[in-house]
Amino acid sequence: MRHFFAGCFQARYAAIPKTLSWAFFIGVVVAPAILSCESYAQDTKVVRIGAGPTGATDFPFGGLIANAISNPPGTRDCDRGGNCGVPGLIAVAQTTVDPVENLKAISRGDMELALSQADVAAWAYRGTAAFQGQEPLDNLRILARLYPENVHLVVRKDSPIKSVMNLKGKTVAMGAKSSGTEATAKLILSAYGVKWNSVRMRSLALTEVTEALANKTIDAFFMVSGAPVLSLEDLSARVPISLVPIDGPTAQKLAQIFPFYTRGTIPAGTYGDHPDIATVDVGSVLVTSDTMNPELGYGIVRAIWHERNVSLFRAGHPRGKLMDSSLAARDIGVPVLVGADRYYIENELMDPPSMMPEPPPVKESRLRSQSRALPMPSNIDSPS
């Protein structure tokens, strides 16, 4: 069946067959195989979802989203027990490198939907913080904030590192170069008064970082992903690890000043024998561009928050239990797509535009002025 559908869409969606995921089959296996290629293509809209690397939580969530919003021609209607997605839509989850690359791909028009971090999306949209000096990606739009991602600071069990401040003089993997994890990690170091040049920073991708800790070539690494993270579960089964708390007044100030951060907890026993770990959370957001058809945007968010699909998310991953429609369109830092906003306003999940003053961009100078507990570099895009 994979080859049948790939053949149907290859001419119109040449990029899709190279990166087909199992979400493709989830979305289309219910379509009757007797449909001809020609009739199928005429009745179908295909969208690509940038879902991140396979070891992170966004990847399986991308598959869940593809399942939730898909409703290919020939399938039963939602009220008859079929998929409660957008009629005629097939969503294809693709592996991608990183949330930053996802945003750039959306802005260029290389894909229609992508998962990213709310902080990174807000910085990219405004061209500030980690994106200082770069052209703002001001055509980005939000469809939904989905679930909280946890900032993980991971060390070996026998490590002397017990706090963020203990990272001074250590070798720390910050994620891939120019990645979302790197941007968030640098902000956290700055907030806790750890100058970047006091840390031996390593740029390592998700697929490399766990092996580096296992091989003792690094002392610690940051990872931003919703617990439980598959790659960390695998690491903890091979190497005893500990999680360093990101807490105290500094974490509280981060959550107060930046709307996309909240206080969070990595539950006890997620990665072996450890207690609840306090940390900072950042929302995982579903992003598109301002060129998406408003009716399609409306249909996608309605499908995501349909009660049957909410149950799908909750059963599909522990983070799905933390999805909250009341937070889906609030305090994100990037405008909600026209069309999607109509759904949220109709369901009293978002204020009408006349009641929503444009918030000023959050600058780190404002951060410094509000708290001495958050010593920031003069430019958080350059090492101190």
Residue at 34 is within a domain: yes
**Tally of domains in the chain:** 2
pLDDT at 376: 40
Residue at 58 is within a domain: yes
Whether 254 and 218 share a structural domain: yes
Residues 176, 118: Cα–Cα separation, whole Å: 18
Q: What is the pLDDT of residues 243-281, one digit of tens each?
A: 999 999 999 999 999 989 999 999 999 999 999 999 999
358: pLDDT strictly greater than 60: no
pLDDT at 365: 43
**Structural domain of residue 19, as residue ranges?**
2-148+284-355
Whether 142 and 212 share a structural domain: no
- End position of a domain, from candidates 231, 263, 282: 282
Whether 351 and 303 share a structural domain: yes
Whether 139 and 161 share a structural domain: no
Whether 95 and 164 share a structural domain: no
Residue at 364 is within a domain: no
Task: Quickly tell me which residue has 């891939």 as its tokens.
Answer: 176
Whether 245 and 139 share a structural domain: no
- End position of a domain, from candidates 234, 261, 282: 282
pLDDT at 112: 98
12 pLDDT band, cuts 50/70/90, is very low
362: pLDDT strictly greater than 60: no
Whether 106 and 218 share a structural domain: no
Say if residues 66 and 92 touch (Cβ distance below 8 Å): yes
Residue at 239 is within a domain: yes
Q: What is the pLDDT of residues 221-231, one digit of tens each?
A: 999 999 999 99
Say if residues 231 and 56 touch (Cβ distance below 8 Å): yes
User: Helices then strands (H, E): number in the chain?
Assistant: 14, 10
Residue at 365 is within a domain: no
Single out the residue of 196, 118, 159, 105 nearest to residue 380, CA to CA: 196
Whether 173 and 277 share a structural domain: yes
Which residue has better confidence, 277 or 362?
Answer: 277
Whether 39 and 129 share a structural domain: yes
Whether 154 and 138 share a structural domain: no
pLDDT at 118: 96
Whether 38 and 126 share a structural domain: yes
pLDDT at 33: 38
Looking up residue 236, the CATH number of its domain turns out to be 3.40.190.10
342: pLDDT strictly greater than 60: yes
Q: What is the pLDDT of residues 189-215, one digit of tens each?
A: 999 999 999 999 999 998 899 999 999
Residue at 374 is within a domain: no
Whether 153 and 126 share a structural domain: no
Residue at 292 is within a domain: yes
pLDDT at 38: 46
| Residue type, position 21, single letter | S
% of the chain exceeding 90 in pLDDT: 71
- End position of a domain, from candidates 265, 282, 299: 282
Residue at 249 is within a domain: yes
* Residue 4 CA: distances (Å) to CA of 40, 43, 109, 150, 271: 11, 16, 26, 40, 41
| Residue type, position 83, single letter | N
DSSP structure string for 136-155: P-TTEEEEEEEEEEEEEEEE
